[in-house]
Structure 1
Amino acid sequence: MAVLATGTAPGLRIPRSLGTGLMVVPAVAFLVLFMVVPLVSFLVRSVTGDDGGFTWQYYAEIFTTANYRSALINSLLLAIGSTLITIVITVPAALHLARIDGKRAIGYDAVLTFPLSLPGLVIGFFVIILFGRAGLAQSASTALTGHPSFVLAYSMPGLLLAYLYFQLPRTLGILRGAAAALDPDAESVARTLGASPARITATVVLPALWPAILSAAGIAIASSLGAYGTVAALSEGFRVLPLEIAEQGTVLQNTALAGAMAIVLAVLSAVFTVINHLGERMIERSAVRA
């Protein structure tokens, strides 16, 4: 069906499909220029040897060289571990927030979404201020016991804390919407039948929230894998793949190895993004059935 486009000469008709197609051109052009082109360039460099021929040597290095393999494993452990902790924290928080409204809800929203406005580097320095060598935890421990406490900031626990900081609002937003859509009658029926709160949570609430949990976990892991600023602020010998990519690509000028690492990281992020989409599809199907 043809429609008259706004601002065109009288009698000039533009197909609706063409008009709506033109609206997405800027977004597609941006993604092609700043995502597809660099990824293709990385891919070509990562499979091109010194002699110009095809090679898998740079990918082999990632999995056979101890430092690079350790950085890859650390990235996965940080992303998955922090996500699991975040889910445990945010599920009960989402259930509570779904049941309140008014000024309290606005206040919670303001506090819980604030980390989204902060860059990763700033979050890293927050952890240093709290748990660094001259941090508040050290000062408090020295004042109370006469001995400094264990320094968390530059280790795996410190990085987990930092990752939690920027994962919480992202995860909570997804889970809160799903918690608000839960059927209260299902819980009431289970309670009437004598089910305990723990059993209601395990057999009614969590299965209903499972698609949202899957979606939130996928997007949290995918975004955490590429975190750079936070790790750059806190890393002292603790390596993750984004740090290795930056060092190989900028300091050592080994763009082929950096490209291979970037492709591996992109593939891993894509896998968890697909998990996020699966969760979203499950949520949509549940909404349709309801």
Structure 2
Amino acid sequence: MSLLDTRSRAPTALRRRTRSGARWPWMLLPALLFFAAFWLLPFARLMRVGLSPDRTTQQSGYWTAIGQPQYLQSLLNTLLLSLAVTLLTLLIAAVVGCFLARQRFAGRGTLLALLTFPLAFPGVVVGFLVVMLAGRQGLLAQLSISLFHERWTLAYSLSGLFIGYLYFSLPRAIITLVAASEKLDRSLEEAARSLGASQWRITWDVIVPGLKPALLSSGAICFATSMGAFGTAFTLGTSLNVLPLTIYGEFTNYANFATAAALSVVMGAVAWLGLMLARALAHGAGEKA
């Protein structure tokens, strides 16, 4: 191709890129309309309803949500439960993910499939499995009666809800961390080992930083999911003092729409802050790398 041909084709290519750049905002229009119709407008309406007076206190729903002890306790229980589930999920998933990424053995694919099979279960099924494990007629109750002549039950408490949320969150985290572990540069570990670093130092200084983006993203999703999970909690009992059930009770039992809307906005704000914090930490880790 001659220099003249190259120069003659350059304006044509430039015009094509210009037309393509002018078209791409219109390609976003369906997504923007969907976002506005199914999230932005309903959420704006929800925030407005939260400004209405509470049926009991005659105060704003937001003021009631942050001023009444029972609602604050529900928020605190949900927050602490979500944090505990997130931390234990990441710990277990990181160990399992690293092991499965580094080891090749017969049945590895089957084991990974079994570990991720609960992804197909909705929250109601997870709650039912917890009842089968730690309910009044569950496996734990039968064993405790046989061994200690006492019936142990965990299913209908925050402990049972913790087990259910953990069971629900682990498969998602394991999938992410197996993929992230397979992409780690093993030569960095060999270099650290050749310099005399212990396995603990290698884990903390090489493996954990390499997995940090995956850990943060998995943790953010786990935290947000645990904050708003309803099916598992509802299956284990509506008396549990967690925010999704509190919102459900205010909405269905008392028709207290203002407080239910305000609590929904507060729960969404807390989950959003968790997601933004994880994103900021991941961005900071990327810049350091």
TM-score (norm 1): 0.84
Q: Which structure 2 residue ranges, 5 or more long, are not aligned?
A: 1-13
**Aligned residue number for residue 37 of structure 2:** 33
Which of residues 233, 236, 239 is equivalent to 1:234? 236
1:48 is the counterpart of 2:52: yes
Taking every aligned residue pair, what percent have the same amino acid on both sides?
34
Q: Secondary structure at the match of 2:204?
A: helix
Query: What is the 5 A alignment of 1:235-254?
Result: 235=237, 237-254=239-256
SS at match of 2:102: coil
- Contact 1:212–1:283 at 8 Å: present in 2 too? no
Mapping of residues 131-146 of structure 1, within 5 Å: 131-143=134-146, 145=147
Query: 1:95: Cα distance to partner?
Result: 0.8
Q: Hey, what does 2:9 align to over in structure 1?
A: none
Aligned residue among 92, 112, 115 for 2:115: 112
Once residues 117 and 275 of structure 1 are traced to their aligned partners in structure 2, the CA distance between those partners, rounded to angstroms, is 29
For residues 240 and 24 of structure 1, what CA distance do their matches in structure 2 show?
A: 38
Deviations 1:213-264 (A, max 9, x none): 2222112101110100011111353211111112222232111111111110
User: What letter is aligned with 2:171?
Assistant: P
Q: Which residue of 1 aligns with 2:10?
A: none
More helix by share: 2
Distance 2:286 2:179 in 1: 12
> Does the C-alpha gap of structure 1 residues 49 and 153 become closer, same or farther in structure 2, counting only changes over 3 Å?
closer
Structure 2 letter corresponding to 1:59:
Y
1:141, distance to aligned residue in structure 2 (A): 2.3
Q: Distance in 2 between matches of 1:73 and 1:153?
A: 20
Map of 1:1-290 to 2, 5 A cutoff? Answer: 15-17=19-21, 19-49=23-53, 57-100=60-103, 104-143=107-146, 145=147, 147-235=149-237, 237-278=239-280, 280-281=282-283
Contact 1:46 1:260 in 2 (8 A): yes
Distance change (3 Å), C-alpha of 1:243 and 1:236: closer
CA radius of gyration, larger in = 2
One-letter amino acid matched to 1:120: G
Deviation at 1:283, TM superposition (A): 6.8
Partners in 2 of 1:99 and 1:278 — Cα distance?
Answer: 30
- The residue that corresponds to 1:9 in the other structure is none
8 A contact 2:46–2:261 mirrored in 1 = yes
- Read off the aligned partner of 2:47 and give its amino acid letter: L
Distance in 1 (CA, whole Å) between partners of 2:26 and 2:114 is 39
Give the drift of 1:136.
Answer: 1.4
- Tell me how far apart the structure 1 counterparts of residues 71 and 178 of structure 2 sit (CA, whole Å): 38
AA paired with 1:273? L
| Residues 115 and 280 of structure 1, relative CA distance in 2, 3 Å threshold | farther
State the 1:147 CA deviation. 1.3
Q: How many residues align?
A: 273
The offset of 1:67, in angstroms, is: 1.5
Gap change, CA 1:40 and 1:101, over 3 Å in 2: farther
Change in 2 beyond 3 A, CA 1:182/1:285: farther
Displacement, 1:279?
5.1
Assess if the C-alpha contact under 8 Å between 1:215 and 1:275 holds in 2. Answer: no
Q: CA deviation at 1:56?
A: 6.9
Root-mean-square deviation (Å):
2.6
Contact 2:122 2:231 in 1 (8 A): yes
Give the alignment's TM-score, normalised by structure 2.
0.84
Relative distance call for 1:87 and 1:211 in structure 2 (3 A) is same
Identify unmatched segments of 5+ residues in structure 1.
4-13
Q: Distance in 2 between matches of 1:98 and 1:19?
A: 43
